[in-house]
């Protein structure tokens, strides 16, 4: 069709709606969205006419409208293949869930659930009971509460227990995590007053003892989960801090950030402080994340003394940051893996951490054979996600030499599903450790398409 040169030649909405292609859109996109798209392209044509002197023909109008419709319904949150070798990749959603956790989520969202209904008494119940018993059994804590992330957990603790009062924290622990989240800012938001002790690199028990004159509400230890402090450094142990706090009748809070229920040292990594260890050392409350080394959904978890946890449950802020049914269902299912002693086999991130090196080499070798390209090389995987900074695991990679690594990475990101890889020594590399077995076929197809392009 020829380009039209008169605005009067633009078809009306009614005419466009009668076209077979548009009729098909109505069934797929729905009438309101199709009308928006048609009106938008017609208005765009009118706006551009004074400068261009022509208007699009019918085929061009339909093409523009179809592009708009496709863009409008395209989801922005997509599944991706993580071939980067970063196990807890914050930008890629951190911990993937186990199949059991997915099934648990599906079972409570396809219908109704007893989220806040007491089946025994036949009346309103509390969502706060879900996962609490499992958390207590696994950690030895008297009670627990689950909120929507660890930042919220810390905010709740400070707001409920230390508003308008001092909180003692070492200068070496005034950390910032991803997204600009800073411990001092959280304290300010909670209404607590920050009381810094020690220096950037050295803190002593006497520093905490000297702070008692300020009559603080609590002592707080923040685990440096995303960086290391080395050199001329010293800090009191949690046991030493707890002794000083309890002697003065002060609450001891340990913010672990990541939080692990398994000993990472057993898998060739440094030792990450465990939740059980913090409680055994005397911490009254321990805060940690659900979607890091726990391997579950995004959640903030507080475990500890029942008297203190009950105060958190009753605080108005607890409702604003409460966990939803999806979180509670998937968290409960994840915790059950630990209770059944099957976490390493069933939870994806622990399976990745524990995968034997020989198995990773075999997968990388099979990729090389199927693609008939590349080289299998040794390298390192990282835990990531603000956990175990500086710690790496040996791995094997498939390395491809391409003309433009950055352009090749972009092609991979445009695949369906997108593939996230990285560049090492001017080669694009793929780490089998973080690629789920069911994603291998899609990964290899994406690589082949990118190579042929």
Tell me, letter by letter, the H, E, C secondary structure of 390-423.
Answer: EEEEEEEEEEECCCCHHHHHHHHHCCCCCEECEE
pLDDT for 384 beyond 90: no
Residue 425 DSSP symbol: T
Q: How many CA atoms lie within 13 A of 341 on its CB side?
A: 0
- For position 126, which CATH number holds? 3.40.640.10
In a domain, 435, yes or no: yes
Instruction: Please say which residue of 343, 368, 393 terminates a domain.
Output: 343
Last residue of one domain, picked from the residues 343, 360, 382: 343
Q: Could you report the per-residue pLDDT of 117-134, keeping only the tens digit for each? A: 999 999 999 999 999 999
Same domain, 162 and 181: yes
In a domain, 168, yes or no: yes
Q: What is the mean pLDDT of residues 4-24?
A: 86
40 lies in the same domain as 120: no
| Chain segment 284-294, per-residue pLDDT in tens | 999 999 999 99
* Residue 4 clears pLDDT 60, i.e. is over it: no
Asked if residue 1 belongs to a domain, the reply is no
Closest CA to 428 of 389, 395, 451, 398: 398
State the Cα–Cα distance between residues 236 and 9, nearest whole angstrom. 81
In a domain, 353, yes or no: yes
Q: Work out the average pLDDT over 409-413.
A: 97
Q: How confident is the model at residue 9 (pLDDT cuts 50, 70, 90)?
A: confident
Answer yes or no: do 21 and 170 share one domain. Answer: no
Q: Is the pTM of this model over 0.85?
A: yes
DSSP-H helix ranges across 163-259? 183-190, 205-210, 238-247
**Residue 58: HSE in the Cβ half-sphere, 13 Å Cα cutoff:** 13
**Overall number of domains in the chain:** 3
- The answer to the question of residue 166 being in a domain is yes
User: What's the pLDDT at 183?
Assistant: 73
Burial of 300 per CB tally in 10 Å (0-12, 13-18, 19+): buried
pLDDT at 1: 40
pLDDT band at residue 178, thresholds of 50, 70 and 90? low
Give percent above pLDDT 70 in the chain: 95
Average pLDDT, the chain: 91
Asked whether residue 337 falls in the same domain as residue 375, the answer is no
CATH number at residue 435: 3.90.1150.180
- How confident is the model over 53-75, as a mean pLDDT? 92
> Would you say residue 2 has pLDDT above 50?
no
pLDDT, tens digit (0-9, with 9 covering 90-100), for 40-58? 999 998 898 888 888 888 9
The pLDDT tens digits for 184-219 are 777 778 888 888 887 878 888 898 899 999 999 999
Instruction: Say how far apart CA 448 and CA 370 lie, in whole Å.
Output: 10
Whether residue 280 is contained in a domain is answered as yes
> Do 12 and 133 belong to one domain?
no
Task: Give me the mean pLDDT over the 112-116 stretch.
Answer: 94
Per-residue pLDDT tens for 240-292? Answer: 999 999 999 999 999 998 889 999 999 999 889 999 999 999 999 999 999 99
Residue 452 has pLDDT above 50, yes or no: yes
- Same domain membership, residue 246 and residue 126: yes
Distance CA 251, CA 282 (A): 10
Mean pLDDT of 222-233: 67
pLDDT at 56: 87
Q: Which residues contact 293 (CB under 8 A, 6 or more apart)?
A: 88, 258, 259, 260, 261, 262, 264, 272, 349, 383, 385, 387
Of 309, 343, 377, the position where a domain reaches its end is 343
pLDDT (average), residues 78-89 = 96
Judge contact between 259 and 283, C-beta under 8 A: no
Buried residues in 79-94 as b, exposed as e (16+ CB within 10 A): ebbbbbbbbbbbebbb
> Does residue 2 belong to any structural domain of this protein?
no
Q: Do 187 and 141 lie in a common domain? A: yes
Q: Between residues 28 and 229, which one has the greater pLDDT?
A: 28
Q: Are residues 168 and 248 in the same domain?
A: yes
Cβ neighbours for 343, distance < 8 A, ≥ 6 positions apart: 261, 262, 295, 337, 350
Least confident interval from 237-251, 384-398, 404-418: 384-398
164 plus 302 within the same structural domain: yes
Specify whether 134 is located in the same domain as 241. yes
| Domain interval for residue 238 | 97-343
Percentage of the chain beyond pLDDT 90 is 77
Q: What is the mean pLDDT of residues 334-355?
A: 97
Q: Rounded mean pLDDT of 359-378?
A: 96
Residue 436 located in a structural domain = yes
For residues 332 and 355, state if they share a domain.
no
> What is the per-residue DSSP string for 318-332?
HHHTB--HHHHHHHH
My answer on whether 168 and 296 are in the same domain is yes
């Amino acid at each position: 069709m020829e380009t039209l040169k008169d605005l009067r030649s633009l078809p009306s909405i009614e005419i466009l709606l009668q076209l077979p292609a548009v009729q098909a859109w109505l069934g797929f996109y729905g009438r309101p969205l199709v009308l928006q798209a048609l009106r938008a392209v017609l208005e765009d044509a009118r706006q551009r006419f004074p400068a261009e002197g022509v208007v699009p023909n019918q085929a061009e109008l339909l093409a523009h409208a179809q592009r708009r419709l496709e863009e409008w319904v395209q989801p922005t949150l997509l599944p991706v293949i993580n071939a980067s070798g970063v196990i807890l990749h914050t930008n890629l959603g951190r911990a993937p869930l186990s199949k059991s956790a997915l099934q648990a989520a599906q079972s409570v969202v396809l219908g109704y659930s007893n989220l806040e209904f007491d089946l025994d008494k036949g009346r309103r119940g509390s969502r706060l009971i879900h996962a609490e018993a499992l958390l207590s059994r696994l950690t030895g804590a008297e009670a627990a509460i689950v909120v929507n992330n660890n930042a919220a957990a810390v905010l709740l603790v400070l707001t409920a227990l230390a508003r308008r009062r001092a909180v003692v924290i070492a200068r070496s622990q005034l950390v910032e995590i991803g997204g600009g989240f800073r411990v001092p800012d959280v304290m300010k938001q909670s209404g607590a007053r920050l009381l810094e002790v020690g220096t950037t690199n050295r803190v002593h028990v006497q520093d905490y003892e000297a702070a008692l004159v300020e009559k603080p509400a609590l002592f707080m230890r923040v685990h440096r989960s995303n960086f290391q402090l080395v050199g001329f450094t010293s800090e009191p142990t949690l046991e030493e801090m707890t002794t000083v706090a309890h002697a003065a009748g002060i609450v001891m809070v340990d913010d672990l950030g990541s939080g692990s229920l398994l000993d990472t040292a057993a898998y060739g990594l440094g030792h990450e402080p465990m939740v059980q260890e913090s409680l055994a050392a005397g911490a009254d409350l321990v805060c940690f994340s659900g979607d890091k080394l726990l391997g579950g959904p995004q959640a903030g978890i507080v475990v500890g003394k029942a008297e203190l946890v009950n105060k958190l449950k009753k605080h108005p802020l607890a409702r604003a940051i409460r966990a939803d049914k999806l979180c509670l269902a998937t968290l409960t299912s994840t915790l059950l893996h630990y209770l059944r002693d099957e976490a390493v086999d069933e939870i994806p991130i622990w399976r990745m951490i524990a995968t034997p090196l020989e198995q990773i080499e075999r997968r990388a070798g099979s990729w090389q054979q199927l693609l008939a390209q590349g080289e299998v090389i040794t390298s390192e995987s990282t835990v990531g996600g603000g956990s175990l900074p500086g710690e790496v695991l040996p791995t094997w990679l498939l390395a491809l030499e391409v003309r433009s690594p950055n352009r090749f990475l972009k092609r991979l990101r445009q695949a369906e599903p997108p593939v996230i890889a990285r560049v090492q020594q001017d080669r694009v590399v793929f780490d089998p450790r973080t690629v789920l077995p069911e994603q291998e076929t899609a990964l290899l197809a994406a690589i082949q398409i990118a190579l042929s392009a």
